[in-house]
A = this chain, B = another copy of it.
Amino acid sequence: MPRAGLGPATVIAAGADLADEVGFDALTMGLLAERLGVRTPSLYRHVESLDALRRGIALQAKRELGDEAARAAVGRAGPDAVHAFADAYRRWARDHPGRYTASLRAPAAGDEEDRRVSDESVRALFAVVAGFGLHDDDAVDAARALRSAMHGFASLESAGAFGLPRDVDRSYHALIDTLVSGLRAGSPRSAGT
């Protein structure tokens, strides 16, 4: 029997693809093995466990999502950059439902690599926010606000939570617009409230 020529990277990549098809939670070692033309136990030569596989997919997804959104904002500034970033974020989430779910996994306590990758993916967002002249606490608030909004919207949308007929694209645009307007208002935030 000729060998399949697998490796950790191949297995994780195939797992990510499969997760997009059947859902991150429905991903099973048996299913993935079948997809790769191999018997289930053989996968354990390349990944330590199902949990390790999930972690690998999560890391890959975080990197991909971060890169994709960051790339979209390159060469743009201000509101334009935010919209490009936000649109790319949502599109990626929609196009890769399994990976997106994976990307939401919080790093396990003590998992330095995962924490680093997760932080990394936020850096691009900070860069975009910095274009508004926000600093320190205001920049953190703004980045958190944008991240919450993008994640919340994408997550509700992928869960099918928006039942009403109103155009979802427009609602998203309106949300991002509102936040952008808030950013423009400058930093009257750090004082009061």
Contacts and interface: CB of A to CB of B under 8 A. Distances in A.
A178 B186 CA distance: 11
A103 to B, nearest CB: 11
A150 B145 CA distance: 10
A105 B151 CA distance: 16
Contacts of A147: 152, 156, 161
Interface stretch (A2-10, A11-19, A38-46, A165-173): A165-173
A151 B183 CA distance: 20
A185 B181 contact: yes
Count this chain's copies in the assembly: 2
A189 interface: yes
A173 B159 CA distance: 26
Nearest to A187: B174
B193 A141 contact: no
A152 B175 CA distance: 13
A144 B159 contact: no
Given A156-B151, A189-B177, A144 B171 contact: yes
Given A140-B171, A166-B141, A156 B148 contact: yes
Interface in A89-110: 104-107
Given A150-B152, A151-B152, A155-B152, A174 B141 contact: yes
